[in-house]
């Protein structure tokens, strides 16, 4: 239908980032976009259409409902090549029952004739029809200019000083059990506050004299008739929780181990520069000798590759064993994420780096790094000034990151490094 092309155009370059993890190369249906200073998320309901014709309509109906619940504006993509289809009519019917703003996007309006034909789509009953061409980009600017005027402002999580912890993970890993164990223990004082969004449950509590907010996706088990939609729904919820929080706490089930979906969650947290803690739950189910945790951890690290900075701990939520390690570990990550390194210490390191591993000659030029400074914390961003930034080899970049991590404690914290021409 060309919807994927449109989706990719909306979320732009971010989509093109190729992740070298196995099992994550499949289509994404959720992305972040940026237009005229506005950051927004795009949900694509495509790709989740089940093959089976009988359940197809049920599935689509469900997806549209889920996406509607989560969104502020609806872009209803239709195809100028085929005109109005039966499916368009059914979808329009569902959309008209909601009070969300619907913009009809008449795609594939690649030429004059098709642009003329887009007026037929007013028959679907919505006020706005935009002819666009995802292929050459025509019309998308006007559409986005108009669309962003309907978006609410998203509050930054950093606005309050109470750290927000998102507890995420696959169904049945023990998220509810952990949250309940934390909240119902004598060691924590719970303040119930109304969820800021309809269906994440935020609980404030204090532990060790510090306050925290748990952004909980547990218990949000949407009844869906089509199994493809369970994942769709949980992906949306999880991403929202990650975005609203400072720290992502990913639970995995000790018996099931680390799965492709878990890697996707971690990459999402990294992409939004959130602090990360990986928690192996149901540790009571594993028969242990002294080496087990280490072996378990190594097997996971092997798959984490570039995310070796993530701390891994084991707990048993059901038996309330070591559950406070989760908060203590999160607390360390919060501290690391706020860390600000002095410019002098950084430049000393930069000198050491270039002595230990001299920068290469590239196309007849000796690369040279002049200066580094930490621009901000929470999350940390480092700016490097050098002669030819675009020639910096990726492995040298990684080398620098490793050195920063060796010398300063940024465990659990994604680091952003920008390289500028001096």
The residues, ordered by sequence, that sit 6+ positions from 348 with a Cβ below 8 Å of its Cβ are none
Q: Give the residue, chosen from 94, 285, 299, 418, that forms a contact with ligand GDP under the rule CB under 6 A.
A: 285
Contact between 43 and ligand GDP (CB under 6 A)? Answer: no
Contact between 261 and ligand GDP (CB under 6 A)? Answer: no
Please, what sign has the CA dihedral across residues 186, 191, 195, 196?
negative
Contact between 250 and ligand GDP (CB under 6 A)? Answer: no
Q: Give the residue, chosen from 15, 134, 177, 224, that forms a contact with ligand GDP under the rule CB under 6 A.
A: 177
Strands 164-169 and 128-131: unpaired
Contact between 239 and ligand GDP (CB under 6 A)? Answer: no
The residues, ordered by sequence, that sit 6+ positions from 365 with a Cβ below 8 Å of its Cβ are 387, 388, 391
**From the CB of 162, what's the least distance to ligand GDP, in Å?**
23
Contact between 114 and ligand GDP (CB under 6 A)? Answer: no
| Contacts (CB under 6 A) with ligand GDP, residues 291-330 | 316-318
Q: Output the residue with the shortest Cβ distance to ligand GDP.
A: 174
Contact between 172 and ligand GDP (CB under 6 A)? Answer: yes
d(CA 100, CA 325): 43
Between 38 and 293, CB nearer to ligand GDP? 293
Are the C-beta atoms of residues 268 and 250 closer than 8 Å to each other? no
Residue-wise DSSP of 145-159: HHHHTTPPPPPPGGG
Contact between 407 and ligand GDP (CB under 6 A)? Answer: no
Q: Give the residue, chosen from 92, 218, 250, 304, that forms a contact with ligand GDP under the rule CB under 6 A.
A: 218
Are the C-beta atoms of residues 250 and 169 closer than 8 Å to each other? yes
Contact between 118 and ligand GDP (CB under 6 A)? Answer: no
Between 78 and 173, CB nearer to ligand GDP? 173
Q: Give the residue, chosen from 45, 134, 281, 336, that forms a contact with ligand GDP under the rule CB under 6 A.
A: 281
| Contacts (CB under 6 A) with ligand GDP, residues 141-170 | 169
The residues, ordered by sequence, that sit 6+ positions from 229 with a Cβ below 8 Å of its Cβ are 48, 59, 62, 63, 66, 222
Q: Give the residue, chosen from 110, 228, 284, 391, that forms a contact with ligand GDP under the rule CB under 6 A.
A: 284
Go through 199-224 and write b for each residue having 16 or more CB atoms within 10 A of its CB, e for each that does not.
ebbbbbbebeeeebbbbbbbebebeb
Q: Give the residue, chosen from 9, 237, 282, 337, that forms a contact with ligand GDP under the rule CB under 6 A.
A: 282
The residues, ordered by sequence, that sit 6+ positions from 277 with a Cβ below 8 Å of its Cβ are 247, 248, 249, 250, 310, 311, 313, 326, 329, 330, 333, 412
The contact set with ligand GDP (CB under 6 A) reads: 169, 171-177, 218, 281-282, 284-285, 316-318
């Amino acid at each position: 239908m060309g919807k994927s092309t449109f989706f990719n155009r909306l979320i732009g370059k971010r989509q093109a980032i190729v992740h070298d993890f196995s099992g994550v190369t499949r289509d994404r249906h959720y992305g972040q976009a940026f237009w005229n200073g506005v950051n927004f998320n795009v949900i694509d309901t495509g790709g989740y259409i089940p093959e089976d014709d009988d359940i197809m309509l049920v599935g689509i109906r469900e997806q549209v409902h889920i996406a509607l619940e989560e969104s502020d504006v609806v872009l209803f993509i239709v195809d100028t090549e085929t005109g109005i289809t039966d499916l368009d009519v059914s979808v329009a019917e569902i959309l008209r029952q909601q009070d969300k703003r619907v913009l009809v996007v008449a795609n594939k309006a690649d030429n004059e004739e098709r642009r003329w034909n887009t007026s037929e789509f007013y028959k679907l009953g919505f006020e706005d029809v935009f002819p666009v061409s995802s292929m050459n980009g025509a019309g998308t600017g006007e559409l986005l200019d108009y669309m962003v005027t309907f978006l609410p402002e998203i509050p930054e999580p950093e606005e309050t000083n109470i750290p927000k912890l998102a507890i995420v993970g696959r169904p049945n890993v023990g998220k509810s059990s952990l949250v309940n164990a934390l909240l119902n223990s004598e060691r924590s004082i719970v303040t119930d506050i109304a969820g800021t969004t309809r269906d994440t449950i935020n609980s404030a509590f204090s532990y060790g004299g510090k306050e925290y907010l748990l952004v909980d996706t547990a218990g949000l088990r949407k009844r869906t008739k089509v199994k493809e939609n369970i994942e769709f729904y949980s992906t949306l919820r999880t991403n929202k929780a990650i975005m609203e929080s400072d720290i992502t706490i990913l639970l995995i089930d000790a018996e099931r181990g680390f799965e492709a979906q878990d890697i996707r969650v971690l990459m999402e947290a990294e992409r939004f520069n959130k602090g990360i803690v990986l928690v192996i739950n149901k540790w009571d189910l594993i028969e242990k000798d002294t080496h087990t945790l280490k072996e378990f951890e190594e097997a996971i690290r092997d798959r984490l590759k570039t995310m070796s900075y993530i701390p891994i701990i084991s707990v048993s939520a059901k038996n309330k064993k070591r559950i406070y390690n989760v908060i203590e570990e999160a607390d360390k990550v919060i501290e690391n994420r706020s860390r600000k390194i002095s410019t002098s210490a950084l430049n000393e390191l930069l000198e050491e780096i270039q002595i230990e591993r001299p920068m290469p000659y590239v196309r007849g030029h000796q690369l040279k790094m002049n200066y580094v400074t930490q621009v901000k914390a929470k999350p940390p961003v480092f700016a490097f000034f050098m002669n030819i930034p675009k020639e910096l080899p990726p492995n040298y970049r990684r080398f620098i990151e490793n050195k920063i991590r060796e010398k300063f404690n940024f465990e659990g914290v994604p680091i952003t490094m920008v390289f500028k021409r001096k």
